Amino acid sequence: MAKPLTKVYRRLVEAAKLARKRAYAPYSHYPVGAAVLTESGRIFCGANVENASYGLSICAERVAIFNAVVRGEKVLKAVCVAGRSARPCGACRQVMVEFSGKETDLLLVDLDPNQGRDSVKKTRVFAMLPGAFDPLDSGLLPQHPQNLLRHRKTAAKKRRRPTQRKEA
């Protein structure tokens, strides 16, 4: 039996489902909603937005993540995707990796009208993209305190070892 979702994860699921209702999908008729929970506890939403020139369309996951980033939030604690057989595409998985830590949860909400209820699968962002391209490991990003990927790798070390302040 699956563990029930926490209150904040239930809010995340509801936000993604509400965002799905705002999707613009006149070509595929495949509306998707997404919501991200940031390190500060804020939730940002997104929906897929299609265009007659399909290459100019954007997925719900990236809309939600980009909404968070432009508001100064660059560390994701959880991502939620809601739709029929909801699964992020490869591009969205790579963008999620850019702003996620190894512990970032991914909630996949399958809205199957034939079942009569929604099903939620919980996994991790990094589990969805094995061997993800890591710009830090490749040398593309400098070792800098503002760098999210550096934060991702050093956060676990900081939790294990408390910092000591020097007295002047």
Contact 77, 100 (CB under 8 A): no
- Tens of pLDDT, residues 31-59: 999 999 999 999 999 999 999 999 999 99
Report the alpha-carbon distance of residue 86 to residue 123 in Å, rounded: 13
Which CATH number applies to 7-133: 3.40.140.10, 1.25.40.10, 3.30.1240.10, 3.40.50.300? 3.40.140.10
Identified catalytic residue from 50, 61, 73, 98: 61
**Digit-coded pLDDT (tens) for 55-99:** 999 999 999 999 999 999 999 999 999 999 999 999 999 999 989
Which helix (H) or strand (E) segment holds residue 82: the answer is: strand 76-83
Residue intervals in the chain for CATH 3.40.140.10: 7-133
Please tell me the distance from the alpha carbon of residue 107 to that of residue 31, in angstroms, as a whole number. 17
Distances from the Cα of 52 to the Cα of 27, 49, 88, 90, 145, angstroms: 7, 10, 21, 21, 42
CA atoms 115, 126, 105, 25: torsion sign: negative
Query: Is 61 among the catalytic positions?
Result: yes
As given in the structure block, the two tokens for residue 47 are 């929906």
The SS3 call for residue 63 is helix
